[in-house]
Amino acid sequence: MSSAPLRRVAALYDVHGNLPALEAALADVEAADVDLLVLGGDLALGPMPCEVMDRVLALGDRVRALRGNCDRLMADAYDGCPLPPLPAAVQASITWSARQLDRRQRDYLAELPQTLKLEVESVGAIRDGMTALELGTGWVHWEALFTRLFYDVRFYLLDVWDNRQFAGLQQYAGHLKSRLYEDVDRPRDQLDRASRLLEKILDCSNFDELYSLLGFTYILEPRGRLDAIPDHSVDLVISSDVLEHIPHAGLEQLMLDLKRVLRPGGVCAAQIVEEDHLRIYDRSVHPKNYLRYSEFTWKALFENRVQYINRLQHSDYVKLFGGGFEIIDEQIVVSSESLPFEVSKAFNGYSEEDLKAGVTRIAARAPL
Ligand SMILES: C[S@@+](CC[C@H](N)C(=O)[O-])C[C@H]1O[C@@H](n2cnc3c(N)ncnc32)[C@H](O)[C@@H]1O
């Protein structure tokens, strides 16, 4: 078996000597194309102990097993050790099952570990060779740039208008280079690689040189549509502080577009700021200030095209992603414990958790 982190692991528990049930579960495991099967204890005690043990042993290093209490009791019974005070029927069952075993099967059970530590890739983990999309990449392509320092990922960068700032990007890159070893918690060899790449980034004199160095493709698409990206070609979509700027209908369209461009099992990870953006400019403004306004007042007095925000709440995003994706992680950062004003009726029906949420982080996976 390779020592690379595992991608998919199946875990079956309490087989209890039931060969037909094990066969049925193994058929599902086979179809799921896993890297490893973990059998979580209490393997053989049951009606078909030898048959189950033969089947498990034949799986070789595709399986790792843990020792359950029944496995220990069976090894003890095989060795003729006294069993603990258990009901007579249970004692009889352990003794009968243990007598069916041969020496190799007994040794396998006796030597099983009680714990197992596996290195498993986290869901959506970034890998060299991936294709990724940064939605709403903005001025300095920060998320893509940072990711690219550590992984050989091909990035599409998409935005609805050209707000890029090359001097700003160089400034960020220079600052990161000067703080890299103190501020970024990564193995030394990865930091060395990132530092060398930052040097090359600092040598670039415009975006075209930068894109050719890093393998980035910049897409300007005023409607925010993903038509330039082929079907099922993207492994990962990231966006930071973008979705709150897209109207609800646009987000519904985006969900369809994401479903089209993501590979089966591909992941979309978004950070969404639900705070009133006026607060960016005036810290005395309450983080959820906009909740006081009706739809009419908001549209008439505050909504604007320079910094549009959709006033959607955490649960709206969960619903949007939940429609076509499997949500694999969702986090709320609460921005204020109290709402010291009357909330408009426009937000009736939202939970308190929703209304206090300041930032949502959501990761969702496209169907397999
Ligand atoms: C607050 S900025 C965030 C920029 C960048 N992600 C960052 O963290 O620095 C929001 C960005 O989203 C972009 N944007 C707005 N609507 C969009 C849409 N429908 N599709 C893609 N990007 C959009 C804006 O042009 C802007 O660059």
DSSP per position, 135-151: ES-TTT-HHHHHHHHHS
The whole-number pLDDT of residue 123 equals: 58
The whole-number pLDDT of residue 203 equals: 97
- Closest by CA to 224, choosing from 259, 258, 248, 254, is 254
Give ∠ CA 243-249-251 in degrees, rounded to 5.
Answer: 30
Taking residues 113-117, report their average pLDDT: 89
- 39 found inside a domain: yes
Cα–ligand 1 centroid distance for 193 (angstroms): 29
Do 287 and 215 fall into the same domain? Answer: yes
The confidence band for 122, taking pLDDT boundaries of 50, 70 and 90, is low
The whole-number pLDDT of residue 272 equals: 98
Taking residues 313-325, report their average pLDDT: 96
The whole-number pLDDT of residue 259 equals: 96
Cα–ligand 1 centroid distance for 243 (angstroms): 8
Q: pLDDT tens, 328-339?
A: 999 999 988 899
CATH of residue 357's domain is 3.40.50.150
CA distance 185 to 2: 26
Taking residues 283-312, report their average pLDDT: 94
Give me the half-sphere count of Cα atoms (radius 13 Å) on the Cβ side of residue 316: 22
Neighbour count for residue 66 (Cβ, 10 Å): 18
- Closest by CA to 207, choosing from 167, 152, 239, is 167
The whole-number pLDDT of residue 5 equals: 73
CA distance 43 to 65: 9
Do 218 and 320 fall into the same domain? Answer: yes
- 168 found inside a domain: yes
CA distance 328 to 342: 34
Percentage above 70 pLDDT, the chain: 98
Tell the residue nearest (CA) to atom 10 of ligand 1: 242
- 117 found inside a domain: no
- 121 found inside a domain: no
User: Could you tell which of 242, 253, 312 is best to mutate to test the pocket of ligand 1, judged by most ligand atoms within 8 Å of the CB?
Assistant: 242
Do 24 and 89 fall into the same domain? Answer: yes
Neighbour count for residue 178 (Cβ, 10 Å): 11
Provide the whole-model pTM. 0.74
CATH of residue 73's domain is 3.60.21.10
- 124 found inside a domain: no
Total tally of structural domains belonging to the chain: 2
Contact residues of ligand 1, CB 6 A cut-off? 135-138, 142, 158-161, 163, 224, 240-242, 245-246, 250
Tell the residue nearest (CA) to atom 13 of ligand 1: 136
- 1 found inside a domain: no
The whole-number pLDDT of residue 3 equals: 60
- 222 found inside a domain: yes
CA distance 35 to 347: 47
Percentage above 90 pLDDT, the chain: 86
Do 92 and 211 fall into the same domain? Answer: no
The whole-number pLDDT of residue 1 equals: 45
Q: Which two tokens stand for residue 291?
A: 């909740």
The whole-number pLDDT of residue 366 equals: 95
Cα–ligand 1 centroid distance for 323 (angstroms): 23
| CB-based contact 132:154 (threshold 8 Å) | yes
Do 229 and 331 fall into the same domain? Answer: yes
At which of 110, 143, 161 does a domain end?
110
Burial classification of residue 29, based on how many CB atoms lie within 10 Å of its CB (0-12 exposed, 13-18 middle, 19 or more buried)? buried
At which of 45, 79, 110 does a domain end?
110
Taking residues 316-320, report their average pLDDT: 97
Beta strand segments in 205-348, E: 216-220, 234-240, 262-273, 326-334
Do 147 and 44 fall into the same domain? Answer: no
DSSP state of 241: S
CA distance 341 to 291: 9
Do 103 and 135 fall into the same domain? Answer: no
The whole-number pLDDT of residue 176 equals: 97
Cα–ligand 1 centroid distance for 282 (angstroms): 21
- 149 found inside a domain: yes
Q: pLDDT tens, 22-55?
A: 999 999 998 888 889 999 989 999 999 999 999 9
Q: pLDDT tens, 188-222?
A: 999 999 999 999 999 999 999 999 999 999 999 99
Do 145 and 50 fall into the same domain? Answer: no
Domain range spanning residue 152? 131-365
Do 135 and 98 fall into the same domain? Answer: no
At which of 76, 110, 144 does a domain end?
110
Cα–ligand 1 centroid distance for 239 (angstroms): 8
| Closest atom of ligand 1 relative to the 161 alpha carbon | 25
Residue that wins the pLDDT comparison between 273 and 7: 273
Do 186 and 101 fall into the same domain? Answer: no
Q: pLDDT tens, 227-277?
A: 999 999 999 999 999 999 999 999 999 999 999 999 999 999 999 999 999
Do 315 and 247 fall into the same domain? Answer: yes
Do 56 and 155 fall into the same domain? Answer: no
Cα–ligand 1 centroid distance for 298 (angstroms): 22
Q: Is 41 helix (H, G, I), strand (E, B) or coil?
A: coil
Q: Is 282 helix (H, G, I), strand (E, B) or coil?
A: coil
Taking residues 69-96, report their average pLDDT: 93
